[in-house]
């Protein structure tokens, strides 16, 4: 078929009309945005590709649908990941597969059968084309409007000191102006909360997130808390570009994410943690800990333990006492491309498992290692108590 | 007789137009077909038989139905209970057999009511009158499609009186030494036919044939290529048309390998001129241009229609602009419509014209 650009787009929209209707229903029924977000990504990627295909494919044989479909699937999945669309993988793949299959059935059979001049019109649908486009654009526009109207209210925290604890009990986007400081900690008690550009000083824990969903901490700084810098329980959170100063805090952890295995995966990315017992630690949680810088901890630098599961990747760990990166207690860890140096022997208790290991896997844990830089430590890798280590090629 | 719609010509183009009009909602009594013989495939069948054609050059959609789907690959798959025809079609490797194509035409003829609407008459004269066109003494019709077909076989002038010469589309056998003049699909078919018959083949050609799957590049089969083609002024359109219509035949081993083997055995060679062969087969196609058409020539002359070189100037929908308005339609189909659709002399071209003609008949 030699498509015109308009024909490509109209044929694509025709193929996606049914899946779009389905996701609209799913979205409304489940009261979730991800189905619509996923559909929007599919439409966006598809139409963008149509602009690419048009000049390079003056004629598209039927068989080309397969490689082009795989190509588009890769692009859609990359966009889904990049845009943090929270779509279950199986459903995302199923939706794409249905859309692709419908496109083939429509493009090769139903549309040529229904519209006499479909082939010679280059896939254009005549008067039905603009109607179809409206049929796709209008629901998305309405959904977008609805989404906008339901955005959490944005609260600007003025520069200067604010006495805490600051308790968030509604959907909210808390944005700190330059120099905004909360003294006494922040407690998040509602789902769908984003906190950005806020400095927290003091408090029992710097920021507490307990039993809520969809919380994002972006560009937050925490210091001088009595216990943990960021304390997460039974929740999956996104923490990025944070700064935690735990110097002088003897028993607290920089970031502690615990007991949220059933809540989904947390993400800790591009944070700096100084001091504390453990810089970043998970207990019974799924997490991706990546591109962080952790230093001067008194127990371990980064720790995944108590049946945690996830990745520790591209982190820099310095001056950890006893252990740099720890995977323990039946956890399953992927430890890749980390840079661990200047780990110190814990001379205080004489424990052989704390003899300055850059990476330690302990007590039935399983770790997969790859391309870690472990120079400048008393010991490189320690494996204890029925643990397993695999090297990824 | 007076009616709404007349189709002049009962060949494949006329047949496709009839089926399209019926699919578009016109009743059989609204359509009158003037044809010299009731079998729409008769002329085509004779030519295919003459060159012993076994497979169509067209693909799955090379059929007479008004829509491209379901094509002959679907029909074949259903009959053979096999997905192979569909897979081959998806890969652009499906070419129906002539036998299947003709059987399909016959099926359609039998179930479409075609026979009842064909009036055995050769229309010789079309005259524009108020609100329609008068066809000889057959009456006045509001919308008329002229599907007169090829005006005749083209023979090179210097071979016209040569007793050895026969046109490829006339019945013939093969002499021990055969010279084939031409470089298109008919010529290529004749090379293989003559070789298979044990002849030595001399190919005489003015230019090297283009190798492409269909008569014209595929973008010119749809609006993608046609939009630019239609935007050209008629003279430049003719220039482009000439370049698109250069002799061609499909690529593929089924063509190349027998020729290579015969070449190695000294049984196939290319020469610059006809000399010494026992038989000369002129695979030189058809007479080209409205001047050779007994119906179009007087139509153009009497109504002073715009022409450019061999072609009547047509609108993109293949109507004759000077004789088409809000009350009536005169459209050309088949080879005469190439200025509207470069592949107008193919089944797909006939369908393109039929669709456009239907739009006018349905809305007026």
Under 8 Å between Cβ of A264 and A243 = no
pLDDT exceeds 80 at position B181: yes
CB neighbours (10 Å) of residue B27? 10
Q: Contacts of residue B355 in chain A, CB cutoff 8 Å?
A: 116-117, 120
CB neighbours (10 Å) of residue A277? 21
**Residues B24 and B89 grouped into a single domain:** yes
Domain count, chain B: 2
pLDDT of residue A149: 81
User: Looking at the partner chain, which of B24, B67, B225 has a beta carbon nearest the beta carbon of A112?
Assistant: B67
Q: Do B224 and A63 touch (CB under 8 A)?
A: no
Under 8 Å between Cβ of A210 and A233 = yes
Q: Do B221 and A119 touch (CB under 8 A)?
A: yes
- Which of A6, A117, A122, A126 would best serve as a mutation to test chain B binding (most B beta carbons within 10 A)? A117
pLDDT of residue B191: 96
Distance of CA A297 to the CA centre of its chain: 26
- Which of B69, B92, B352 would best serve as a mutation to test chain A binding (most A beta carbons within 10 A)? B69
The last residue of one of the domains, among B236, B263, B282, is B282
CATH of the domain at B263: 3.50.50.60
Q: How far apart are the first and last CA of chain A?
A: 44
- Which of A104, A105, A116, A121 would best serve as a mutation to test chain B binding (most B beta carbons within 10 A)? A116
Q: What distance in Å separates the CA atoms of residue A349 and residue A143, rounded to the nearest whole number?
A: 60
Tell me the two tokens of residue A346.
């814990």
Establish if B91 touches chain A: CB-CB under 8 angstroms. Answer: yes
CATH superfamily of A154-391: Single-stranded right-handed beta-helix, Pectin lyase-like (2.160.20.10)
Q: Contacts of residue A107 in chain B, CB cutoff 8 Å?
A: none
pLDDT of residue B364: 61
In our burial notation (b when 16+ CB lie closer than 10 A, e otherwise), range B55-78 reads: bbbbbbbbbbbbbbbbbbbbbbbe
B215 domain residue, yes or no: no
A3 to chain B: nearest residue by CA?
A: B224
Residue ranges of the alpha helices (H) in A188-312?
none
Q: Give the model confidence (pLDDT) of A124-150 as tens digits.
A: 999 989 998 888 888 888 878 887 887
Q: Contacts of residue B68 in chain A, CB cutoff 8 Å?
A: 112, 118-119
CA distance A102 to chain B (A): 16
Please report which confidence band the pLDDT of residue B137 belongs to, taking 50, 70 and 90 as the band edges: confident
User: Looking at the partner chain, which of B23, B90, B358 has a beta carbon nearest the beta carbon of A63?
Assistant: B90
Tell me the two tokens of residue B176.
């021990």
Place of tokens 């489940």: A30
CB neighbours (10 Å) of residue A385? 12
- Starting at the edge strand found earlier in the chain, the sheet holding A255-258 runs A166-168, A186-188, A207-210, A230-233, A255-258, A278-283, A300-305, A323-328, A357-362, A379-384
Show the CA angle centred on residue A76, arms to residues A238 and A237, nearest 5°.
10
**% of chain B at pLDDT higher than 90:** 86
Q: What distance in Å separates the CA atoms of residue B280 and residue B203, rounded to the nearest whole number?
A: 10
Q: What distance in Å separates the CA atoms of residue B96 and residue A112, rounded to the nearest whole number?
A: 19
B178 domain residue, yes or no: yes
The last residue of one of the domains, among B259, B282, B305, is B282
CA distance B296 to chain A (A): 26
Mean pLDDT, all residues of chain B: 93
B222 to chain A: nearest residue by CA?
A: A120
B235 domain residue, yes or no: no
Establish if B28 touches chain A: CB-CB under 8 angstroms. Answer: no
Q: Give the model confidence (pLDDT) of B323-362 as tens digits.
A: 999 999 999 999 999 999 999 999 999 999 999 999 999 8
pLDDT exceeds 60 at position B1: no
A46-55 long-range contacts (CB < 8 A, ≥24 apart) are: A46/A12, A46/A16, A46/A72, A47/A9, A47/A12, A49/A75, A50/A5, A50/A8, A50/A9, A50/A12, A51/A5, A53/A3, A53/A8, A54/A3, A54/A4, A54/A5, A54/A8
Tell me the two tokens of residue A95.
């939706």
**Residues B301 and B342 grouped into a single domain:** yes
Tell me the two tokens of residue B199.
């002849």
**Residues B117 and B186 grouped into a single domain:** no
Q: Contacts of residue A126 in chain B, CB cutoff 8 Å?
A: none
pLDDT exceeds 80 at position B275: no
Burial (CB < 10 A; 0-12, 13-18, 19+), residue A131, is exposed
Which residue in A151, A180, A183, A185 sits closest to A168, CA to CA? A185
Q: Do B352 and A117 touch (CB under 8 A)?
A: yes
Distance of CA B273 to the CA centre of its chain: 29
B69 domain residue, yes or no: yes
Element (H, E) at B359: helix B347-363
pLDDT of residue B2: 62
Q: What distance in Å separates the CA atoms of residue A52 and residue A46, rounded to the nearest whole number?
A: 10
**Residues B52 and B132 grouped into a single domain:** yes
Tell me the two tokens of residue A278.
């453990």
A4 to chain B: nearest residue by CA?
A: B224
Q: Do B222 and A121 touch (CB under 8 A)?
A: yes
pLDDT exceeds 80 at position B65: yes
User: Looking at the partner chain, which of B23, B68, B217 has a beta carbon nearest the beta carbon of A119?
Assistant: B68
Q: Do A2 and B351 touch (CB under 8 A)?
A: no
Q: Contacts of residue A59 in chain B, CB cutoff 8 Å?
A: 217-219
Show the CA angle centred on residue B314, arms to residues B310 and B320, nearest 5°.
110
Q: Which domain holds residue B264?
A: 157-209+247-282
CA distance A2 to chain B (A): 5
Q: Contacts of residue A61 in chain B, CB cutoff 8 Å?
A: 90-92
Q: What distance in Å separates the CA atoms of residue A221 and residue A271, rounded to the nearest whole number?
A: 10
**Residues B123 and B169 grouped into a single domain:** no
pLDDT of residue A104: 92
**Residues B7 and B132 grouped into a single domain:** yes
pLDDT of residue B335: 94
**Residues B8 and B148 grouped into a single domain:** yes
Tell me the two tokens of residue B318.
């293949």
Q: Which residue would you say has higher pLDDT here, B32 or A23? A: B32
Residuewise pLDDT in 10s, chain A (393 residues): 899 999 999 999 998 888 888 888 888 888 788 888 888 899 999 999 999 999 999 999 999 999 999 999 999 999 998 888 878 888 889 989 998 999 999 999 999 999 999 999 999 999 989 998 888 888 888 878 887 887 788 999 999 999 979 999 998 999 999 999 999 999 999 998 999 999 999 999 999 999 998 899 999 999 999 999 999 999 999 999 999 999 998 889 999 999 998 888 999 999 999 999 999 999 999 999 999 999 999 999 999 999 999 999 999 999 999 999 999 999 999 999 999 999 999 988 778 899 999 999 999 999 999 999 999 999 999 999 999 999 987
Domains of chain A, residue spans: 5-149, 154-391
Establish if B63 touches chain A: CB-CB under 8 angstroms. Answer: no
- Which of A68, A120, A123 would best serve as a mutation to test chain B binding (most B beta carbons within 10 A)? A120
Which residue in A196, A212, A266, A197 sits closest to A238, CA to CA? A266
A42-47 long-range contacts (CB < 8 A, ≥24 apart) are: A42/A16, A42/A76, A42/A95, A42/A96, A42/A99, A43/A12, A43/A13, A43/A16, A43/A136, A43/A140, A44/A79, A45/A72, A45/A75, A45/A76, A45/A79, A46/A12, A46/A16, A46/A72, A47/A9, A47/A12
Burial (CB < 10 A; 0-12, 13-18, 19+), residue A293, is middle
Establish if B342 touches chain A: CB-CB under 8 angstroms. Answer: no
List all residues 6 or more positions away from B131 whose beta carbon is below 8 Å from its beta carbon. Answer: B140, B142, B327, B328
Q: What distance in Å separates the CA atoms of residue B183 and residue B211, rounded to the nearest whole number?
A: 10
Task: Report pTM.
Answer: 0.74
CA distance A54 to chain B (A): 10
B236 domain residue, yes or no: no
B143 domain residue, yes or no: yes
DSSP bridge pairs for A283: A258, A305
B223 domain residue, yes or no: no
Tell me the two tokens of residue A281.
């630690």
Residues in chain B, how many? Answer: 364
**Residues B47 and B146 grouped into a single domain:** yes
Show the CA angle centred on residue B36, arms to residues B302 and A116, nearest 5°.
85
The HSE-up count of residue B109 (CA atoms within 13 Å, CB side) is 19
Tell me the two tokens of residue A337.
């491309």
Chain B residues 164-183 with CB within 8 Å of chain A: none
- Which of A5, A7, A59 would best serve as a mutation to test chain B binding (most B beta carbons within 10 A)? A59
CA distance A74 to chain B (A): 23
Q: Contacts of residue B358 in chain A, CB cutoff 8 Å?
A: 116
Q: Contacts of residue A3 in chain B, CB cutoff 8 Å?
A: 222, 224
B327 domain residue, yes or no: yes
Under 8 Å between Cβ of B232 and B241 = no
């Amino acid at each position: 078929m030699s498509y015109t650009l308009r024909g490509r787009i109209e044929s694509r929209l025709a193929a996606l009309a049914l899946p779009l209707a389905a996701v609209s229903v799913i979205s409304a029924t489940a009261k979730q945005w991800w189905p619509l977000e996923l559909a929007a990504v599919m439409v966006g990627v598809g139409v963008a590709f149509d602009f690419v295909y048009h000049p390079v494919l003056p004629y598209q044989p039927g068989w080309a649908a397969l490689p082009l479909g795989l190509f588009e699937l890769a692009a859609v999945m990359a966009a889904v990941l990049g845009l943090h669309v929270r779509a279950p993988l199986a459903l995302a793949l199923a939706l794409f597969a249905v859309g692709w299959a419908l496109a083939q059935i429509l493009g090769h059979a139903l549309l040529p059968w229904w519209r006499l001049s479909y082939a010679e019109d280059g896939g254009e649908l005549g008067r039905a084309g603009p109607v179809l486009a409206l049929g796709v654009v209008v629901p998305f526009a309405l959904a977008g409007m609805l989404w906008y109207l339901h955005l959490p209210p944005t609260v600007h925290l003025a520069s200067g000191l604010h006495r805490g604890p600051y308790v968030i009990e509604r959907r909210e986007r808390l944005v700190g102006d330059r120099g905004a400081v909360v003294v006494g900690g922040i407690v998040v008690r509602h789902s769908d909360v984003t906190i950005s550009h806020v400095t927290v000083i003091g408090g029992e824990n710097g920021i507490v997130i307990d039993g809520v969903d969809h919380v994002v901490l972006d560009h937050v700084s925490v210091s001088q808390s009595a216990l943990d810098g960021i304390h997460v329980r039974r929740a999956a959170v996104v923490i990025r570009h944070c700064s935690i100063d735990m110097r002088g805090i003897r028993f607290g952890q920089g970031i502690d994410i615990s007991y949220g295995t059933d809540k989904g995966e947390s993400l800790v990315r591009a944070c700096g943690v100084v001091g504390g017992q453990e810089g970043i630690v998970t207990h019974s949680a799924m997490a991706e800990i990546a591109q962080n810088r952790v230093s001067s901890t008194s127990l371990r630098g980064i720790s995944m333990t108590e049946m945690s599961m996830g990745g520790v990747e591209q982190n820099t760990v310095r001056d950890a006492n006893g252990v740099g990166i720890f995977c323990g207690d039946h956890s399953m860890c992927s430890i890749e491309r980390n840079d661990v140096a200047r780990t110190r022997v814990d001379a205080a208790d004489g424990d052989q498992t704390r003899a300055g290991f850059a990476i330690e896997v302990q007590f039935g844990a399983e770790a997969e290692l790859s391309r870690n830089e472990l120079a400048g430590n008393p010991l490189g890798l320690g494996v204890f108590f029925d643990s397993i280590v695999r090297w990824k090629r | 007789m007076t009616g709404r719609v007349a189709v002049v010509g009962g060949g494949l183009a006329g047949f496709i137009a009839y089926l399209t009009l019926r699919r578009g909602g016109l009743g059989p009594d609204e359509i009158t077909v003037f044809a010299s013989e009731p079998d729409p495939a008769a002329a085509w069948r004779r030519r295919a038989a003459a060159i012993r054609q076994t497979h169509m050059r067209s693909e799955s959609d090379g059929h007479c139905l008004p829509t491209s789907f379901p094509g002959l690959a679907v029909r074949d798959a259903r009959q053979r209970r096999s997905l192979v025809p569909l897979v081959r079609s998806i890969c652009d490797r499906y070419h129906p057999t002539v036998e299947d194509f003709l059987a399909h035409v016959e099926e359609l003829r039998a179930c479409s009511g075609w026979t009842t609407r064909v009036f055995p008459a050769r229309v010789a004269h079309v005259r524009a009158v108020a609100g329609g066109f008068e066809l000889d003494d057959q009456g006045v019709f509001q919308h008329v499609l002229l599907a007169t077909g090829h005006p005749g076989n083209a023979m090179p002038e210097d071979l016209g009186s040569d007793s050895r010469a026969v046109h490829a589309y006339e019945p013939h056998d093969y002499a021990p030494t055969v010279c084939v003049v031409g470089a298109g699909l008919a010529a290529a078919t004749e090379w293989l036919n003559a070789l298979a018959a044990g002849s030595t083949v001399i190919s005489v050609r003015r230019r090297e044939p283009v190798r492409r799957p269909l008569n014209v590049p595929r973008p010119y089969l749809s609006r993608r290529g046609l939009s630019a083609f239609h935007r050209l002024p008629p003279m430049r359109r003719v220039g482009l048309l000439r370049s698109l219509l250069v002799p061609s035949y499909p690529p593929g081993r089924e063509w190349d390998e027998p020729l290579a083997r015969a070449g190695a055995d000294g049984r196939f060679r290319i020469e610059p001129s006809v000399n010494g062969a026992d038989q000369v087969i002129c695979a030189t196609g058809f007479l080209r241009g409205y001047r050779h058409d007994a119906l179009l020539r007087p139509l153009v002359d009497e109504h002073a229609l715009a022409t450019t070189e061999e072609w009547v100037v047509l609108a993109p929908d293949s109507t004759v602009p000077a004789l088409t308005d809000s009350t009536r339609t005169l459209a050309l189909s088949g080879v005469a419509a190439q200025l509207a659709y470069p592949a107008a002399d193919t089944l797909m071209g006939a369908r393109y014209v039929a669709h456009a003609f239907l739009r006018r008949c349905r809305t007026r």
